[in-house]
Every structure is written in C-alpha cells, then in structure tokens.
A and B are shown apart, each in its own frame.
Chain A
Amino acid sequence: MEFSELIKTATVESVLLSCAGQPAVKGTLCITSHHLLLSSCPGGDGQPSAVELWLLIRNVDAVEKRLVLSHRPVPPSVPSSMGVIPRCHPGTAEPPLPPLPRGPRQWALTSSSPPCPRVQNVGWYQPPRSSGSPRDNRLAGSSGTITLRCKDLKVLQLEIPGMEECLNIASSIEALSSVDSVMMMYPFFHRPQSLRLEEGWPLLPVEQYFQQLALQTTQWRLSDVNRDFAVCPTYPPAVIVPAAVSEETLRRAARFRQGGRFPVLSYYHSRNGTVMLRSGQPLTGPNRKRCAEDEMLLGSVLDDGERGFIIDTRSAQAAKQARMTGGGTEPKSSYPQWKRLHRPLERGRPLQESFIKLVEACNDASLGMDRWLGRLESCRWLSHVKAALSTACLAAQCLDREESSVLVHGAEGTDTTLLVTALAQLILEPGCRTLKGFQGLLEREWIQAGHPFHLRCAHSAYSHARLKQEAPLFLLFLDCVWQLSRQFPFSLEFSEGLLLTLFDNAYASDYGTFLCNNEKERCLCKVKESTHSLWAWLDQPEERKKYLNPLYSPNPLVIWPSVEPQSIQLWQGLFFRWIRSSQYLDEAWAEIWRLVEGSNTAVKESTESRLSRSLSDPTAPTENER
C-alpha cells in the first residue's frame, strides 16, 4: 500500500482553521502520509509562513463533513453558545467553535458513511454568485466544513473552499487515520534529531526488577520459560516465579490459565516479604477441572498455615458464569489456603461507553447546573474510578496490613488485573512515585505485562466506528493516579502534565512505546529497533522539567487514598482540556514553580554569585553599598 494512493488532494489554499478558545487562522492545508499541516498565509512583506497546525493523522478519531452549497464562502455564523470562553484571548476575532452535538446524524456524515451521494441532502442550495469559480460553475463558491474530533479529545474545524476539495480532504484523512498496520504508523518514520534510536528502550525491566528483589529474598527466580513466547504469547520473555517451581510445572500451569497467563510475581512488598501475583482466570470450566501444577504453583507462595487472598475483579456471579465458557475461578476446596474476594470492576464495552458518555456530557453546553451532576452520575465514570481505587487499596491493605500475599486476576488478566496491580504498587511503594519509577511501573505492569494497547486504544470517545475491543482502561488508571496526586500533593514526583502526555501517546504517538498489544508483537514488528522510545524523549532535560511536580518531597509511607465520594473529583485537566481555558490555573502553577524554584535556586545562585564576586574582588561593592 502506498500512502499516496490514499491522498486524493494534497494541498488546499485558504483553509480556515478554528479551534475552541483560539483565534481562527487561514492558511494552506497540506496532507502528508502521517500529518495534517496548516501553514498560515505569509504576510505581504514576504514573511515566512508559520505552521499553525501539525496534527498527527492517527490522532483523528472521527471526521465529520458538512457541505454548504452557497454563494458565501463562509457558512452562516455558527451559534455562539460558547461565547464566553475566549475572554482570555482578547485577540479572538472569529466566533469560537461551537460544540457540535454528536447525536443528530442527519446533517453530519460520519466516517462510517459513504462519502458522496447524500451530500445534496445535508447542505442547502443557494444560487451561485455570478463571479463564481471558473473551474466549476455548479459548485461555484461552495465550501465545506470538516470537523476533526481527535483522540486526545480536541476538536478542530476546517473550512475548506470548494466542495470537491473538502470531500477529498475528508476521505483522505479518513483513509489515513484508519490505516491499521502497525509498521505503517508514524513511529516507524519519526526520527527526531536529538535522539538515537536505541535510546530510552528500557533494558529488560522485569530483569531489573528481579535484581532488586534478589537482594532481599531467594524464594523467587527469573524464569525464561517464555523466551520464545511459546508458553504465553502475551507475557514478556522473562517472568518472576517461585524458586521452587520447575519450568515444566509452569508450562502445565499455563495450560490451565486463560491465554497461558500463569501466576507470576508482580510486586514484592519488602516491608514484610509478601507478594502480589497476577494471572489469567483458571480454566476450570463446567466440569470443575483441576490442575495439580497450578495448585502447587500457588501453594508454593505460601508457607504452611499462611493464608493469601485472591482478588477476582469480576463479581462472584460473573466468575461462576465464566465456567460455562471454559473459564472460572479457584474453588476453595482446591486452593484451601487462599480466600477469594470478588470486586467487580467494569471493563470492555461498558467502560468505553462510560467514557463516551462523559465526553459527551462535558461537551454539552446546554446542560444547566441542576442537570450537570445527574448527567455526571449517569456516565458512571467516577464510580469506576472509585471502584478501581478501592480495589487497589484492598489489594494494598491485604499486603501491608494483613501481611498476606495476593493474587489478582479477572478473566484475561490483561485489563482490570493490571489496573489493580499497578495502582496498588503506586500506593504502597514510594519508588514507583518518582518519574523514573513510574516509567518502570508502566513498562512492567502495562506494556510488558501485555495490556493490548493497540486494540484498547484504537479509538477514543468520538469515534463513530463500531466498537470492537476499545476500552479506556489505561485512561482509567491515569485518572486514578491523578486522584492520588490530588489527594497527596507532595508525594508524586511527576505532575498532571505527564499523565496527559501519556494519555495522548497511548492513543496516537510519534513514539513506539505504546505500539502493539504485547512483547511478542513488538518483537515481530521490530518496534525497539525501528522506533524511538517515548521515555527517551521525556527524559531530555528540557522536556523532563515540564513533567515534574514542584511540590514533590519523597514520602516513605504508604499513601492510603480516601475513596469517599467527596474525595473523588472529575479530572478537569483532561476532560475539559480543550473546552475551558485553564489560563488562571496555569498561572497558579507557574507561581508555585516560581516560589519553589525561587527558594531552591535563586537564593543559592545569588549567594554564590555575590560571594564569589565579593571574595574574588574585595573592591566590588557589597549589597549594602549598592
């Protein structure tokens, strides 16, 4: 496939770009294989044109077209229901982009609709102006508006003169944004000058974690039973398992777990030596099958008389029902030392729908205060946040307070399971709360652990495409981390900015970090050899600073969050990022930086410079003389 086949029109002049809260700009629109560019028209005095938009086409979630067959190049002024937003942008000359309702499909052609024939029905016809375009009299002066709804929740509007151009641009964007082949994606072409390719790819994060652990205990070993992904396609080549368990036992136990995800160590709680394991569901099936090796594997984690907890992220009912399809859960009789706790967490389609509804509600300008909270409630998103945090706290409490080991699984063990294990570690382990530690946690517990990013993050909240495997579990995780950062403003080294960047990159990225569904696929696609790592980019000093929390001071304690509804808030920085201006909050943030940096460096620097000056030159004027 050639990208050029997908691009029907590569450039269009005089395109008007508008975006909520920003002044509209006119310029030349240009489509390349991965980007949409808009460069503003150069001024009369031959100034170089400025690039106003540089949008990764992969970031486009939905394309909506609206054609206006009119003698006026610009459609009638849009209802300015958001007229207050640009107050902080005094330069705004154009009315801001109105939030277009998603519902009414009768006038919006969506990406799933065939592009052309219905056009006449959605536009309205007015006689062409006499001085129409010489090219095509019938379409003289008509124009079209393309609304691009992005995966990062941004909404852009392009007014394109000429109906044909508009249709071509729209279908090109649609085609390019739905290219599904991983190796055609932009990370394989992105070559930033400041980075080297191999930089920043974490070298064996599981192995590194094991090295730390081996200093404290000999009960665990690194197994390469999965070295060619033969035992479990979604596990990394190396996993941490009980030292006493042989490779053969692991192989057999893997056959008894969904997707071959046999129980492996996720976290070692150094304070008391308890561990958190994760796996897929056991394949007990309707006949209540057992597996001696699996029982042995779990048994070897606990000493005689010790008890452990199994946290099943499904309801007891759902776990039971899973038996009908070959799954199930650990029966008490076969695993006598383990106590099962069911904590149903939403995933899959209901979670995606919750996300879609929330974004819809946030964009609904017509909601009054009296209906907003009810609408927020009906989205259920905050309930999911509360449930995820509570379950992670439960796991952490089992480890830290009950001093018992924990096994976490749901069905596949790649979604809610990882949500719980990653959050629990953040709560328990101060090392995970640094920027570096958090990157390591994401690598181990999300990327290497086989969260299917490619499937889950294929579409975001705006897509009209039929839902397949999409579910915002990673976003839910980031939201929970944000809640922690709000409840413990000093305890995380990174700021909200990092969480937003991670969200953006999980859905559409210049980097290879979140590509594919698991390590096996990444190896096949040679992701590490052919793309840059997001971590390398973030670790550059000037980037890094953007993601730091100025208030951070290492907190060696467990951070037990409050899961009371009063403590759980909507993450405005994400859900309202493109809707309201955050100018005043950004200023406050800058002020915090100023205060903290002022205290850290300004005094020190000025002391040093004054001292060195006055020491080296005794005649220099001192502070008081000046």
Chain B
Amino acid sequence: MLVHLFTIQVLHSQISSIEKQATTATGCPLLIRCKNFQVIQLVIPQERDCHDVYISLIRLARPVKYEELYCFSFNPKLDKEEREKGWKLVNLSEEYNRMGIPNSYWQISDVNREYGVCDSYPTEVYVPKSATAHIIVGSSKFRSRRRFPALSYYCKDNNASICRSSQPLSGFSARCLEDEQMLQAIRKANPGSDFIYVVDTRPKLNAMANRAAGKGYENEDNYSNIKFQFIGIENIHVMRNSLQKMLEVCEMKSPSMSDFLWGLENSGWLKHIKAIMDAGIFIAKAVAEEGVSVLVHCSDGWDRTAQVCSVASLLLDPHYRTMKGFMVLIEKDWVSFGHKFNHRYGNLDGDPKEISPVIDQFIECVWQLMEQFPCAFEFNERFLIHIQHHIYSCQFGNFLCNSQKERRELKIQERTYSLWAHLWKNRADYLNPLYRPDHRQIWGTLHPQMAPCNFLYKFWSGMYNRFEKGLHPRQSVTDYLMAVKEETQQLEEELAVLGERLANLQKLQLNGNKVKSKQQDRSKELALSASSNSLANTPQEYSNDLKSFPSRSPSQGDEEDSALILTQDNLKSSDPDLSANSDQESGVEDLSCRSPSAGGCLPSEDSGKDSDEAVCLAV
C-alpha cells in the first residue's frame, strides 16, 4: 500500500472558523475553514489533544494586537534599503502625475495634512482648483465621516473625472452651501460638460432609510446641474451572507447540477457581481463616451464606492490593466482612501458584522473581465488569487489597519515589507502570455457586453474551489503558453548569438553544423514541456455500485491510507504555497512528500470520497 504524506501550511490569519465535530471511532474531527476558501478536516486521535489544538488555534486565529500579526515577524532577508525601495514601488503622486495632474483644473490640497479634516482620507488629496479650503472643510462637515468629494480618476483626453465621497448629511431637507459649491467646482473642472452625474451606489430604499438618520442623498433641486442616479449595490451584510451561501453550495457533497445552479442562484452572488460591474460600466461610459464627470458615493464611501471607482478606472484606462498599474489602482482606490481592511477581513479579532468580502468582489469583477477580454490584461488569474490571499494573510504590511493614519502611526513601512515588491520580483509568474502591448484589444476603454449578457458572469471555480482536487481543468494553458513564449524568445536570442558566431566562423571557412543540431533539439524540448502538463489523472467516484466488487480503484486506496501531516506555520517560507490550483496537484506522484519539520503526524480518518474535507496542499 502506498502511503502519502501531505504537508499542509495554513497561516493562522487565514483561519476563518474552527469547528469541533462529533467524535468518531478514529478520533476527534476538527473542521477548519479558511479565508482563502480552503477547508481542512483534521482528525485527532485523542479528544484532549483535539481540544488543546482547538483552543490554541482559536486564540492564534484571533489576534488582538497588530503586533501579533505575521508581517511583524516575517523577514524575507532583505536589507533596509531594499525594503524602502519596495515600499516606493507604488507611488501615488507619480500616478496622479501620469493622469496629468496637477493641471489648470485640479490641484493637490494640503487641507488634510495631519488628518485634520478627515482621518480616513490620505494626507494628499486632489481637488478642483476652485475648491478653496473653506469649501472643502464646509463640504466635509456635510458628509458622513467627513469624507468630502475628492478626485479618484481623471481622464486627460476630455477632462472628465471620477470623484468620490460619502453620503451627504441631507436628511429630509438640510442643505450645505459649501457642499453645493464643491460639486459646482467639480463640474467647472470639466469645461466640456454642463452637468455632472452623482451616482449613489446603494439601492434607493437604503438611501431613503438613511434620510431618517439625517443622512441620505443629494436633492437634484438643491444642486444645480447634477443628474442623480441610483445603482443598487447591496450592503456589506447582504454580501457577507451571499458569499456564505455560495460557499455552502461549493461545499455540498456531490451536488446535482440542479442543486448547484439553484444554490448559486439563491446565493445571489453573481447578481451582486453584475451590479458592481454595471455601476462601473455606467461610470466608464459617462466619462469616456459622454465626457461627463461623475461623483460616486455610497454610505461611508469606502466599500461600494471603492469597488465601483476601481472597476470604472480599470475599464477606462489600459494602464490599470498592467501589473504595475493594478497595484497602483488598489493602492489608490482602496488603501489610500481608507478601505477598512482590518475590519472587513478580520485581521484582528473584531466585530464579525464588520467582515465582508468587499475587495474579493472587486477581484472577481477583474477576473470576469479577464474572461471576456483574454488579451487585455498584462497579468493572469494567479496574480489575482495571490493578491486575494495576501489581503488575508497579513504577511505584508500593505493591507494592515483601517486607514493611512493608523498605518503611519504603526510605522508600517519601517517595520514590515511591501507585497507589491514581492509580487513584482516574481512577476514572471503572473504574466498573461496573450497580452501584447501592440495588440489592439488592450487599447482604450473596454466595452463589456450588456444585455443579454447574464451568461457572461460565471462561477469562478479557480477562486472558490481552488483547493478542490477533483476539478478540471488543472492543466494550465497560461503556463504552457508562457513556456512556449519564453522558449521562443530564448531561441531567438541564441539564434542571434549563433548568427554572430557563424559570421566569425565563416571568416575561418568553417561551417555551422552546431546550429543545425541545436535547432533539431527544439521540437523535442517543446514536446517535453507539453507532456509535463498532461497529467496522470484518477477517476472520480462515478458509481457506488462498483464497490460490491472486491477490487479497489487506486483512488480509493490513496485516501484510505493517506496520512495528514500538519506542520506549524513555516515562518521561513516567504510565499505561502498557492500552487494547489496549478497543474501539479493532480497525479499522485506529484504530491511531494516532505518530512515533517514540526508538529505531529496525525493519521486522518477515512475521509471517504469527500475530497473537499481533506484537502491536500502540495508543496
């Protein structure tokens, strides 16, 4: 019998929930659900041990101080200079310069230095030139959490812009002159247009309910030259429940097609994704086609507003579809504008009602766009998955805390490392082979199809089922094409070198046999790289009837005898292994057997056929 050892690494910060299940004959099962959608079942022989593990994990998974987080102990062996360089990789003032700002319409304002006006905003805020400090401060007092309208994206071709804010404190009738002037200033900064859109990304009912609490939305009568528009995206609580429901569908044991489709429909997840996309498309269209500026807000302007602004920017500007540009986009619309990473992703133990997959939804929107425009993005799916992973991992300092202010106080940049530098260093892994700077698909604004386009939004099994072993495709077309591309490039370089050598040799009246033999090798090499992708593959359970026969299929054998080894978080590893969705986890022989460095050997229960329970992560 074969014995397979699996090594599992799970960062404590990835643990979403731990559940002790009823003790069975083989031991006490512990179900661990992770924020990166991995589900692990451990079966621990002794109940007492199980309880100890449970208690320790609960404590470790819910740190109470930032200092307990992984990034403060994570050391990728970089010196201070490299660390600083890493943090400088993404530079927002450079980004605004790239947009063409400051210019005669927009300027940088120091009104928020020392976070005096709004503590969840960055210190450097871009506002219309005609908006004086008086107007800004006045406007901020009329907005939830004092999040006044500020520039998110500027289109230098037609001066149209995307601004963002929180909801106005309008109640049923309140007005604020400065806020009205602020919106006027935004309109004036776009001389080509005589109105601006104000997009409230909440469902109308929610916005109206807010009026009773003295908040609400802009009254078109009070603001001259605005067109007000609701685009209903549900709130964080609805989204949290929706994800929960969808994950339940993913966890179902051998669901029928109907179970799955109904479950997916009832979760509403794809409907929410589409709502976010629709809002982004509306704004991109207003900016690119109508040349009209847009002010976007929701309630506090840090969740839905961030989603919608970044989707619109991505549609509008090819720069954000490059790897570097995408990092900048997240830094600009999410990190700098005070998206509450700590609360939303539960980095520190906190109110579970604050947790919601807000940025996950944005990342999924990007994936949905990548599916529709396969050549338009410089990066690939893995890039998105790794970013999603690190938003929860707390291995890098980028996504700590709830605002720039908190991060500065914690001296994040001096004490932790930047994810962007890490991803940039490994950028070869994240390239989309189909992306070519001279391909016309990458130019200009993306126009996703609208109606009838429901079928365009698909379930992302690469994300939500990425630890599922049985699913196909597991062979990565991306990796194969990257290999082909690299090899072609390499050969072309070799060719150049050989050509040079040949020229020299010719002078010596020699011939170039060498070149020819090299060239023949090449077809062999390519065949090899492809066949390494064609994996051994075992059948799933297609029938229960076959069990009546004594013979046993190898897949049964594997699982009954497999042992599960849990290693403590290997703090030395800088990159948590995410390759489980790549092609290497399929065949049995691909599972590398690593001797346990720490932790005990825990024999797993006969985990049966439920591969989603005992998920094995190849290292």
Query: Measuring CB to CB, which residues of chain A are less than 8 angstroms from any residue of chain B?
Result: 81-82, 84-85, 87-88, 99, 307, 339, 341, 362-365, 367-374, 376-377, 380, 382-383, 385-386, 390, 393-394, 396-398, 400-404, 486-491, 551, 553, 555, 557-570, 572, 576, 579-581, 584-585, 587-588, 591-592, 595-596, 598-600, 602-604, 606-607, 610-611, 614-615, 618, 622-625
Q: Are A84 and B449 in contact (CB under 8 A)?
A: yes
Segment 371-420 of B: residues with Cβ below 8 Å from A = 372-376
Q: Are B250 and A566 in contact (CB under 8 A)?
A: yes
A491/B534 contact (C-beta < 8 A), A373-B270, A570-B455, A596-B484 known = yes
Cβ-defined partner of A569 (8 Å) among B458, B487, B503, B515: B458
Q: Are A588 and B434 in contact (CB under 8 A)?
A: yes
* B605 touches A (CB below 8 Å): no
* Shortest distance between the CB of A594 and any CB in chain B (Å): 9
Cα distance, A370 to B267, chains bound together (Å)? 10
Chain B residue numbers with a CB within 8 Å of A339 are 545, 548
* Shortest distance between the CB of A346 and any CB in chain B (Å): 12
Q: Are B265 and A370 in contact (CB under 8 A)?
A: yes
Cβ-defined partner of B454 (8 Å) among A367, A393, A487, A602: A367
Cβ-defined partner of A587 (8 Å) among B259, B265, B375, B468: B375
Q: Select from chain A the residue with minimum beta-carbon distance to B374.
A: A588
Query: Measuring CB to CB, which residues of chain B are less than 8 angstroms from any residue of chain A?
Result: 250, 254-262, 264-265, 268, 270-271, 274, 372-376, 433-434, 436, 439, 441, 447, 449-459, 461, 465, 468, 470-473, 475, 477, 480-481, 484-485, 487-488, 491-492, 495-496, 499-500, 502-503, 506, 511-512, 515-516, 519, 522-523, 526-527, 530-531, 533-540, 542-543, 545-546, 548-549, 551, 553-554
A82/B451 contact (C-beta < 8 A), A383-B258, A393-B542, A584-B373 known = yes
A625/B511 contact (C-beta < 8 A), A373-B261, A558-B537 known = no
Q: Are B470 and A562 in contact (CB under 8 A)?
A: yes
Cβ-defined partner of B534 (8 Å) among A373, A490, A615, A623: A490
Cα distance, A85 to B481, chains bound together (Å)? 30
Q: Are A489 and B511 in contact (CB under 8 A)?
A: no
* Shortest distance between the CB of A444 and any CB in chain B (Å): 24
Cα distance, A587 to B537, chains bound together (Å)? 31
Q: Select from chain A the residue with minimum beta-carbon distance to B453.
A: A580
Chain A residue numbers with a CB within 8 Å of B375 are 584, 587-588, 591
Q: A580-B452, A598-B488, A599-B488 are known contacts; what are 4 more A-B pairs with Cβ within 8 Å?
A: A383-B256, A551-B477, A565-B255, A572-B455
Nearest 10 CB-CB pairings of A with B = A565-B260, A487-B472, A553-B530, A588-B374, A372-B454, A373-B265, A377-B261, A84-B450, A622-B503, A555-B534
Chain A residue numbers with a CB within 8 Å of B265 are 370-374, 377
Cα distance, A151 to B374, chains bound together (Å)? 30
Q: Select from chain A the residue with minimum beta-carbon distance to B519.
A: A607
* Shortest distance between the CB of A396 and any CB in chain B (Å): 8
Q: Are A397 and B471 in contact (CB under 8 A)?
A: no
A560/B537 contact (C-beta < 8 A), A587-B375, A599-B526 known = yes
Q: Select from chain A the residue with minimum beta-carbon distance to B476.
A: A489
Q: Are A365 and B452 in contact (CB under 8 A)?
A: yes
Q: Are A584 and B543 in contact (CB under 8 A)?
A: no
Chain A residue numbers with a CB within 8 Å of B468 are 564, 566
Q: Are B530 and A587 in contact (CB under 8 A)?
A: no
Interface centre among A368, A376, A568, A603 (most CB of B within 10 A): A603
Q: Are B538 and A560 in contact (CB under 8 A)?
A: yes
Chain B residue numbers with a CB within 8 Å of A572 are 455
Chain B residue numbers with a CB within 8 Å of A558 are 537, 539
Cβ-defined partner of A607 (8 Å) among B495, B540, B543: B495
Chain A residue numbers with a CB within 8 Å of B480 are 490, 551
Q: Select from chain B the residue with minimum beta-carbon distance to A401.
A: B553
Cα distance, A490 to B516, chains bound together (Å)? 29
Chain A residue numbers with a CB within 8 Å of B260 are 565-566
Chain B residue numbers with a CB within 8 Å of A566 are 250, 260, 459, 461, 465, 468, 471
* Shortest distance between the CB of B501 and any CB in chain A (Å): 10
Chain A residue numbers with a CB within 8 Å of B473 are 486-489
Chain A residue numbers with a CB within 8 Å of B259 are 565
Cα distance, A550 to B436, chains bound together (Å)? 19
Interface centre among A377, A488, A489, A569 (most CB of B within 10 A): A377
Cβ-defined partner of A87 (8 Å) among B256, B449, B452, B495: B449
Chain B residue numbers with a CB within 8 Å of A81 are 451
Chain A residue numbers with a CB within 8 Å of B549 are 307, 402, 404
* Shortest distance between the CB of A538 and any CB in chain B (Å): 25
Q: Select from chain A the residue with minimum beta-carbon distance to B500.
A: A624
For this complex, 11 residue pairs linking A to B, each with C-beta atoms less than 8 Å apart, are A84-B450, A383-B258, A401-B551, A403-B551, A490-B530, A562-B470, A565-B261, A566-B260, A567-B461, A584-B376, A591-B436
Q: Select from chain A the residue with minimum beta-carbon distance to B537.
A: A560
Q: Are A394 and B451 in contact (CB under 8 A)?
A: no
* Shortest distance between the CB of A421 and any CB in chain B (Å): 16
* Shortest distance between the CB of B380 and any CB in chain A (Å): 13
Chain A residue numbers with a CB within 8 Å of B475 are 488-490
A614/B257 contact (C-beta < 8 A), A374-B265, A562-B470 known = no
Interface centre among A85, A562, A563, A615 (most CB of B within 10 A): A562
Cα distance, A600 to B472, chains bound together (Å)? 27
Chain B residue numbers with a CB within 8 Å of A606 are 495
Chain A residue numbers with a CB within 8 Å of B258 are 377, 380, 383
